[in-house]
């Protein structure tokens, strides 16, 4: 193809493939063959080939499984974390009712203490059930395994589609190679750039919320603990304020566990790096197009490999994510045991001052 005609041809190809817009970074490749049956029959035939069609179908199956299993893990772990916070709050309120027995009256104080104790028991038991489901159900392992399989098949699909020659080894025509490149840029590279940009921003915002939440809780715990200690020398009733410090500490643990489960800060940093790298690769698309016109399929193959190498590097980080999430579940178990245990230091302090 003469270089003079390349701009017109590229404009035509861009019109055929279309441009990706909006905020949707999902991929449904099994629908694409029909989508381009009339506008790009040669590409449609490649998308319908047994290798590409099988890869597309398998990717979609594992992608759906990964989404379901991710939801199961996140729901179980998040609910367990929230319920552990509730257990700690109820435990602190049991102590408060004991301290305020004279003010509330013995019958009411005993009733409230019993109610809070029962609530702590039930909430703690429910938290234990969610933790057991998250660990024994293998939600995390199944999620990571299915996600890894989905990404393997996604890469394989695009490798099949962007191959430089047909099954018999005959090189594809330059217009078809350019069409393949445009398809790859729209449905693989652009989708991934959008995903890492959007999800990176989501993780950054979530990490900032957890940090603010924890910072406020730490400050509140320090202030209330100090005030209750000073005022308790005047009136033992103020010892009850110490329960707010206990609750603030529980809120800090909640925020920390939330960060460990979601890996927000770590993912925000990783996703930003990957977004920047993929964006730099996207900028070179024009040069790759012209190289294909001059050299044939080699630039297309090398460009696809460069993009996939960056994605593979990111996927290998999931092993560390899984280890971090498993550690978060273990920490939640320890926190739950602490929340359900009697608050001995507080009881000893109250007895010593009474």
- What is the DSSP annotation of 174-236? HHHHHHHHHHHIIIIIHHHHHHHHHHHHHHHHHHHHHHHHHHHHHHHHHHHHHHHHHHHTT-G
Domains of the chain: total: 1
For residue 162, is pLDDT > 90? yes
Q: Please state, in angstroms and rounded to a whole number, the distance separating the CA atoms of residues 126 and 92.
A: 18
Q: Is 269 part of any domain?
A: yes
Interatomic CA distance for residues 300 and 318, integer angstroms: 28
Only one residue has tokens 């509140």, namely 220
Is 231 within the bounds of a domain?
Answer: yes
What global pTM score does this model have?
0.80
CA distance 85 to 63: 33
Would you say residue 72 lies in a domain? yes
Produce one character per residue of 220-256: b if its CB has 16 or more CB atoms within 10 Å, e if not.
Answer: bbeebbeebeeebeeeeebbbbbbbbbbbbbbbbbbb
pLDDT at 344 over 50: no
Q: Which helix (H) or strand (E) holds 93?
A: helix 50-99
Is the separation of the CB atoms in 27 and 192 below 8 Å? Answer: no
Q: What is the pLDDT of residue 103?
A: 74
Domain assignment of residue 268, given as a range: 3-17+31-353
More confident residue, 326 or 142: 142
Q: Would 232 be classed as within a structural domain?
A: yes
Residue 230 has pLDDT above 60, yes or no: yes
Phi, psi of 26 (to 5 degrees): -80, 160
pLDDT of 106 > 90? The answer is no
Q: Is the pLDDT of residue 257 over 80?
A: yes
Within a domain: 171? yes
Distance (Å, rounded) from C-alpha 108 to C-alpha 89?
Answer: 19
Region 89-110: what's the mean pLDDT? 80
Q: Under a CB-based contact definition with an 8 Å cutoff, are residues 63 and 57 in contact?
A: no
More confident residue, 34 or 91: 34
Q: Is residue 24 part of a domain?
A: no
* pLDDT per residue as tens digits for the range 268-298: 999 999 999 999 999 999 999 999 999 999 9
Is residue 22 one of the residues assigned to a domain?
no
144-148 long-range contacts, CB within 8 A, separation 24+: 144/318, 144/319, 144/321, 144/322, 146/62, 146/65, 146/66, 146/69, 147/62, 147/66, 147/70, 147/318, 148/315, 148/318
Q: What's the pLDDT score for residue 347?
A: 41
Q: How confident is the model at residue 346, as a pLDDT? A: 40
Distance CA(229)–CA(232), nearest Å, equals 5
CA–CA separation, 302 and 250 (whole Å):
52
Q: Band the pLDDT of 189: cuts 50, 70, 90.
A: very high
pLDDT band for 27, please (50, 70, 90 cuts): confident
Length of the chain counted residue by residue:
354
Residue 25 lies in a domain: no
């Amino acid at each position: 193809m003469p270089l003079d005609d390349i701009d017109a041809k590229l404009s035509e190809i861009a019109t055929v493939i279309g441009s990706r817009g909006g905020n949707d970074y999902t991929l449904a490749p099994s629908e694409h063959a029909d989508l381009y049956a009339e506008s790009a029959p040669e590409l449609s035939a490649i998308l319908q080939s047994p290798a590409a069609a099988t890869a597309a179908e398998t990717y979609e199956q594992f992608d759906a499984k990964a989404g379901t299993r991710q939801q199961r893990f996140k729901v179980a772990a998040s609910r367990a974390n929230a319920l552990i916070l509730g257990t700690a709050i109820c435990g602190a309120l049991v102590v408060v009712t004991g301290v305020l027995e004279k003010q509330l009256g013995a019958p009411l104080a005993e009733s409230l203490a019993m109610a809070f104790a029962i609530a702590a028991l039930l909430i703690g038991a429910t938290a234990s059930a969610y933790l057991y489901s998250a660990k024994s159900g293998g939600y995390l392992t199944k999620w990571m395994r299915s996600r890894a399989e989905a990404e393997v098949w996604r890469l394989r699909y695009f490798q099949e589609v962007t191959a430089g020659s047909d099954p018999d080894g005959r090189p594809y025509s330059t217009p078809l190679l350019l069409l393949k490149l445009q398809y790859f840029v729209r449905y693989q590279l652009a989708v991934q750039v959008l995903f890492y940009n959007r999800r990176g921003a989501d993780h950054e915002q979530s990490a900032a919320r957890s940090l603010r939440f924890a910072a406020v809780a730490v400050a509140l715990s320090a202030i209330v603990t100090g005030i209750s200690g000073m005022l308790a020398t005047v009136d033992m009733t103020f010892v009850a304020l110490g329960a707010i410090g206990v609750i603030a500490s529980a809120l800090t643990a909640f925020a920390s566990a939330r960060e460990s489960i979601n890996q927000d800060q770590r993912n925000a940093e990783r996703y930003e790096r990957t977004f920047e790298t993929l964006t730099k690769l996207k900028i070179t698309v024009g040069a790759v197009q012209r190289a294909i016109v001059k050299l044939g399929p080699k630039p297309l193959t090398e460009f696809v490999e460069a993009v996939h190498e960056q994605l593979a590097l990111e996927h290998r980080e999931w092993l560390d994510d899984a280890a971090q999430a498993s550690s978060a579940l273990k920490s939640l178990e320890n926190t739950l045991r602490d929340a359900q245990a009697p608050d001995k230091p507080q009881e000893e302090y109250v007895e010593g001052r009474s």
